[in-house]
Structure 1
Amino acid sequence: MTISRRDVLMGGAGLAGAAAMTGLSGTPSFAQALPKFEPEKGASLRVLRWSPFVKAEEDAWIANTKKFTEATGIEVRIDKESWEDIRPKAAVAANVGSGPDIVWVWFDDAQQYPDKLLDVTELAKGLGATYGGWYPAPEAYALNRGKYVALPLATIGNAVIYRDSWVKEAGFSEFPKDTKAFLELAKALKAKNHPMGFTLGHGVGDGNNFCHWVLWSHGGEMVDDKGKVKINSPETIAALKFVRELYPNFIPGTESWLDVNNNRAFLAGEISVTANGVSLYYAAKNDPKLADMAADMRSVNLPIGPIGKSVELHQTTSACIFKYTKYPQAAQAYLSFMFDAPQMNAWIEGSSAYCCQTLKAFAKNPVWTSNPINAPYGKASETLRPNGYAGPLGPQSAAAMADWIVVDMVAEAATGQRTPEEAARRAEQRASRIYRG
């Protein structure tokens, strides 16, 4: 879609006028507190983003974009692709040097082609200074050798969603807080014909989030803090033995699930427990036929494993500007506007707690206290552990995630395709090719 030019504020006052129109009391205007950008004459922008799971989130982003166009006269075309297609589309654009000006990428994708991305350090530092600083983990995804090659846009929180009445029917007064009791709940729910279902396929969000939690909760790591591969460890084997025992209590077929499949299974009443964004709850809440289900839904952070602390991967998305853009000033002006408090607060609220802030000041957004089910998602940026843990982020960590090494290892062990030991050895071989390269 294209946001057309209309009600244009002409001249250099355009962006300042937008800030004045939308400024919140007590909030610095971005035109004053952040770097000023002078959009190129005749500029237009193309943005590639992922398809929404919460329609109101997309609507809020489009409404904010419309305000930007009205203030500047800069037309903005917004395209969208499925979650799985964003990564290859962005990589192709980086390699061929043409395509969208701005793209929303996943996790550390920006680390695969940092030399193809515009340095936005000045803007990133200005935003951090204005809005309480960046949360360290999403910020790490955007930093390459001390420079910002992206702006951390949002952390899409991942939490357990479950049917409270079914958990109680299985004999549990509350949802288990540790993996041992979690396994017992899985068995009890399966016995009551209410199986769990967690994504073991190449789901960019749900598959990665669940499988990294399995690994980390037991102390496993892809690499150590020096970047040396250590995925084939006793801790990893313990994690894979755990998931092998857990898997028979799932609904069949989860090894082929993508991000949408667990949503469909839960809303169809086929599973009792899954891990998902808060969008799953709002899909039920907004469907009159699922009112009883929505009232029965609860959310909680994933159980704590033998490591003794909460360790979770949440899906993170960042906004990148490609160096090949003809309009780098306009692109930075657009992102500056979209991160400014009136627009960012409207977007976070519009997302119904689906998109967690990456700048600390926005933790005060009322969406996080408007509904108890939102609470586990409100700290996603704070609790996030980057996927490259415990090593540095960079092309190698990005390549390891893009190659689905952790997801494939967990799925192979869970389904019995390989023994835990065999799955860990195969993952070690695959990771070593990347980290030694």
Structure 2
Amino acid sequence: MTISRRNVLLGGAGLAGASALPGFTGGAFAQSVPQYKPEPGASLRMLRWSPFIKAEEEAWLANTKKFTEATGVEVRIDKESWEDIRPKAAVAANVGSGPDIVWVWFDDAQQYPDKLMDVTDLATALGGKYGGWYPGNEAYAKANGRFIAFPLATIGNAICYRDSWVKDAGFSQFPNDTKGLLELGKALKAKNHPMGFTLGHGVGDGNNFCHWVLWSHGGKMVDDKSKVVINSPETVAALRYARELYQTFIPGTESWLDVNNNRAFLAGEISVTANGVSLYYAAKNDPKLADMAKDIKTTNMPVGPGGPAELTQTTSACIFKYTKYPQAALAYMSFMFDAPQMNAWIQGSSGYCCQTLKAFASNPIWTSDPNHAPYAKASELLRPNGYSGPLGPQSAAAMADWIVVDMVAEAATGQRTPEEAAKRAEMRASRIYRG
């Protein structure tokens, strides 16, 4: 998709344009944020993930149009499925050509930091102006103390459930611990309303659920010195729990990607899953699903013996070093993070994209609907996937190799015993962390 270039009048009354906009020249914003003048004839190409909330994409496109109108810089926006973003970005990094800007997941940027522009000056200034970055998001975007990406958003993950079915199963409210979730699952299965959590290679839902299973029982891949410790009693306990919980699922969740649990829930095939707020809005915006939408409730993930622990999906925007127009790319990102644009995007996402800069926590979207509440603090509560070691090439490689997801799926489905699955995960992780 291309945001068309508009003719920009030069001089006199013709666009105060770039000079009137924050991040380019003049004004209070320019006092604390670097200013960037796009190169003559500059154009940009950006690759992003396919949206689950149409209004989120529309808000980003509207903001991009404003940028083009102000600067004359044409921005072409391409989309790929969630699963395809990671390999597409890696190919671009390796061959040195492709989109100027790409939205990546989790610590993907840590796999090729030398291919990315150092954006520390702008990222630091934005943090200073807007209350600071949330620590988890900042960790994903930095390598060796420097920003190699802009923390763009946290896509909150929460339990979505059919309230009437939960009550019909004998529960007045949704359980807040792992033991209660298992009991609820059994009761719902008996009522022919099974649960369904993603155990396949879903970038968001698969990773979020499987890391929660591991962490909620006190397991982790590495310790704070990056020693592989995944083959532990806590991990085995988590996998035994996953095996029990799986018995309450609809069949086939081991092959699910990020879209499958949405489809199953909206089709009335499952009663409980973990998802972004997009699932609620998919029902709310469909007249045929009006009754379902009224029945949907959301809540945070249950707490296990290991305490509260959630992996929440993050996305960052990277600028490749090979771009021909680095000043234009920096100007674009500066513009998109400026308060009018960022607030409009968060608002348009209906709470799907949680802010990464603390000042935007006051956006009214978070109090506009009770179902937004579990998503409002996604950036504040997230635990980085490299826990409890540092983020870097090893943590990124371990996630890209689906080690945690495969381990949980193997144990849950009975393909391997919990002990065998933990041992295999240990072997796979050790090859990465010792490499």
How far apart are 1:13 and its partner, in Å?
5.3
Matches within 5 A, 1:237-252: 237-252=236-251
- The corresponding residue for 1:346 is 344
- The corresponding residue for 2:2 is 2
Structure 1 stretches of 4+ with a deviation exceeding 6 A read none
Q: Does residue 229 of structure 1 match 2:228?
A: yes
Aligned with 1:368 (options 363, 366, 369): 366
Gap runs ≥5 in structure 1: none
Q: Which amino acid aligns with 1:18?
A: L
Q: Which amino acid aligns with 1:5?
A: R
Q: Does residue 19 of structure 1 match 2:17?
A: no
Q: Which amino acid aligns with 1:193?
A: N
- CA–CA distance in structure 1, aligned partners of residues 8 and 245 of structure 2: 58
How far apart are 1:31 and its partner, in Å?
3.4
- After superposition, the C-alpha distances for 1:24-79 in whole angstroms (9 at most, x for unaligned) are xxxx7533431011211111000000000001000000000000000000000000
How far apart are 1:283 and its partner, in Å?
0.3
How far apart are 1:310 and its partner, in Å?
1.5
- CA–CA distance in structure 2, aligned partners of residues 82 and 312 of structure 1: 24
- After superposition, the C-alpha distances for 1:206-234 in whole angstroms (9 at most, x for unaligned) are 00000000000000001000000000000
- CA–CA distance in structure 1, aligned partners of residues 250 and 278 of structure 2: 21
- The corresponding residue for 1:135 is 134
Q: Does residue 208 of structure 1 match 2:207?
A: yes
- After superposition, the C-alpha distances for 1:290-315 in whole angstroms (9 at most, x for unaligned) are 000000000000000001x3210111
Q: Residue 350 of structure 2 aligns to a residue in which SS? A: coil
Q: Residue 193 of structure 2 aligns to a residue in which SS? A: coil
Tell whether the 8 Å contact from 2:118 to 2:146 is kept in structure 1 after alignment: yes
- CA–CA distance in structure 2, aligned partners of residues 402 and 7 of structure 1: 43
- The corresponding residue for 2:106 is 107
How far apart are 1:371 and its partner, in Å?
0.1
Q: Residue 125 of structure 1 aligns to a residue in which SS? A: helix
How far apart are 1:20 and its partner, in Å?
9.9
- The corresponding residue for 2:68 is 69
- After superposition, the C-alpha distances for 1:227-247 in whole angstroms (9 at most, x for unaligned) are 000000000000000000000
Matches within 5 A, 1:153-164: 153-164=152-163
Structure 1 vs Structure 2: percent identity of aligned residues? 81
- After superposition, the C-alpha distances for 1:374-400 in whole angstroms (9 at most, x for unaligned) are 010010000000000000000000000
Tell whether the 8 Å contact from 1:155 to 1:315 is kept in structure 2 after alignment: yes
Q: Residue 249 of structure 1 aligns to a residue in which SS? A: coil
Tell me the matched-pair count: 431
How far apart are 1:10 and its partner, in Å?
3.7
- CA–CA distance in structure 2, aligned partners of residues 31 and 9 of structure 1: 22
Superposed CA RMSD? 1.4
Tell whether the 8 Å contact from 1:10 to 1:73 is kept in structure 2 after alignment: no
Tell whether the 8 Å contact from 1:9 to 1:70 is kept in structure 2 after alignment: no
Tell whether the 8 Å contact from 1:9 to 1:71 is kept in structure 2 after alignment: no
Q: Which amino acid aligns with 2:309?
A: V
How far apart are 1:7 and its partner, in Å?
5.0
Tell whether the 8 Å contact from 1:16 to 1:31 is kept in structure 2 after alignment: no
- CA–CA distance in structure 2, aligned partners of residues 261 and 65 of structure 1: 31
Q: Which amino acid aligns with 1:148?
A: F
Q: Which amino acid aligns with 1:19?
A: P
Gap runs ≥5 in structure 2: none
Matches within 5 A, 1:109-128: 109-128=108-127
Q: Residue 320 of structure 1 aligns to a residue in which SS? A: strand
Structure 2 length-normalised TM = 0.97
Question: Do the aligned partners of residues 269 and 9 (structure 1) sit closer, same or farther apart at CA in structure 2, a change above 3 Å counting?
Answer: farther
- After superposition, the C-alpha distances for 1:184-225 in whole angstroms (9 at most, x for unaligned) are 000000000000000000000000000000000000001000
- The corresponding residue for 2:58 is 59
Tell whether the 8 Å contact from 1:10 to 1:72 is kept in structure 2 after alignment: no
Tell whether the 8 Å contact from 1:120 to 1:148 is kept in structure 2 after alignment: yes
How far apart are 1:6 and its partner, in Å?
1.2
Matches within 5 A, 1:322-361: 322-361=320-359
- After superposition, the C-alpha distances for 1:261-303 in whole angstroms (9 at most, x for unaligned) are 0000000000000000000000000000000000000000000
- CA–CA distance in structure 2, aligned partners of residues 211 and 360 of structure 1: 28
- CA–CA distance in structure 2, aligned partners of residues 149 and 424 of structure 1: 33
- CA–CA distance in structure 2, aligned partners of residues 9 and 230 of structure 1: 62
- The corresponding residue for 2:268 is 269
Tell whether the 8 Å contact from 2:189 to 2:195 is kept in structure 1 after alignment: yes
Tell whether the 8 Å contact from 2:23 to 2:335 is kept in structure 1 after alignment: no
- After superposition, the C-alpha distances for 1:113-158 in whole angstroms (9 at most, x for unaligned) are 0000000000000000000000000110001000000000000000
Aligned with 1:314 (options 309, 312, 315): 312
- CA–CA distance in structure 1, aligned partners of residues 372 and 212 of structure 2: 20
Q: Which amino acid aligns with 2:239?
A: L
- CA–CA distance in structure 2, aligned partners of residues 132 and 90 of structure 1: 30
Q: Residue 80 of structure 1 aligns to a residue in which SS? A: strand
Tell whether the 8 Å contact from 1:9 to 1:73 is kept in structure 2 after alignment: no
- The corresponding residue for 2:415 is 417
Q: Which amino acid aligns with 2:224?
A: D
- CA–CA distance in structure 2, aligned partners of residues 366 and 9 of structure 1: 36
